[in-house]
Each structure stands twice: as C-alpha cells, then as structure tokens.
Amino acid sequence: MGAGAQQSGGRRRARRGGRSQTRPMSEINVTPFVDVMLVLLIIFMVAAPLLTVGVPVDLPKTAANALPSDSEEPLTVTLTASGEIQIQTTATPRDQLIPKLRAIAAERGGKQIFLRADGAIPYQDVMQVMGALNAGGFSNVGLVTDTGGPTLDQAER
C-alpha cells in the first residue's frame, strides 16, 4: 500500500538478537493518484452542465432526442415568460434583434442557433422570433426542450 521496507533477498537471514537488513521500496504507489483523478473527474462531470446559459425558463417537455453538438459554443436565444428576448444572457429589444443576429452571423461560421422559449409563451410569439432568427442569417434553428415529456404513441420510455 504505502512505501515500506522490503527484505533484500532470501539468502540473508536474521541473526539471533540482530536486525535483518532491509532496503527501501522504490515502487511508486499510484492508488492515491488514481483516487484524486477520479474525484476531479466527478467534480468536472457535475460542474460541466452548470456552465450552460443560466436564464430561468420553464421549457416544455417532449420526447425528442438531443441534437448533436458542434465544436463551437452554441448560440442561444431565449424567450422568457415575460416576453423578454435574450441572446445568450444579454437582454435584447425586439427592434434590435435582427441587426444583432446579422452581426453575429457575419462573425460565426455556423448557421445553427438554439431557441429556448418558455412553455407559457403563445405560439405566435415563438414563431415571430423564429422568423427573426431566419431573417438574421440563421437557417438551422433548434428548439430546446426538456426531455421526459409525453409521447404521441403513448409508449413507455
């Protein structure tokens, strides 16, 4: 387990009343290193989901699968229950949404954007924001929902 002493061979025997000769063990014990690495791995696995956009939105629940992620950080537009529009975490007035999206689209290589809309928002408002996303230069719009919602085929998941 730890660094200790090891006898220096089978030929030497302890004398009566004398001490046996020992030499220090020169092997590295990796168990504490592995323990620390596993703890760090668990900490990062728990902390990584907390690094997403932190706007509180009550997302609708669906049975859809998650979209594959890109190499760059996804751009997220949020429509809150109060009707406020946010790009990532920055509040944006409705009349400035399309010019800001065009500026962002000019900088970014990908045309993918995620729309998070509160479940209490009317469908018409969500569609207006989706039209603004398209007019802003983003052709690939992903709707963000929570998993575990009802399915149309009533199958157990």
Residue 37, pLDDT score? 94
Closest CA to 114 of 93, 91, 86, 92: 86
pLDDT digits (tens, 9 = 90+) for 7-56: 555 555 555 555 667 877 778 888 888 999 999 999 988 887 776 656 66
Apex 62 CA angle, 59 and 65, nearest 5: 110
**pLDDT value for 111:** 79
pTM over 0.85: no
Contact present, 92 and 86 (Cβ < 8 Å): yes
Answer whether residue 71 shows pLDDT above 70: no
pLDDT digits (tens, 9 = 90+) for 123-156: 888 888 888 888 888 888 888 877 777 777 765 5
Alpha carbons 149 and 132: distance in angstroms, whole number = 28
Q: List the single range of 30-39, 66-75, 84-93 with lowest mean pLDDT.
A: 66-75
How far CA 96 is from CA of 38, 48, 108, 114, 125, in Å, comes to 47, 32, 18, 18, 16
What does the pLDDT read at residue 154?
A: 63
Residue 110 near residue 72, CB atoms below 8 Å: yes
User: What pLDDT was estimated at residue 70?
Assistant: 53
User: In this model, does residue 90 exceed pLDDT 80?
Assistant: yes
107 has pLDDT over 80: yes
Residue 152 pLDDT: 74
Which residue, 114, 118, 113, 115, is CA-closest to 60?
Answer: 118
| Structure-derived torsion over alpha carbons of residues 40, 44, 45, 46, reported in degrees to the nearest 10 | 110
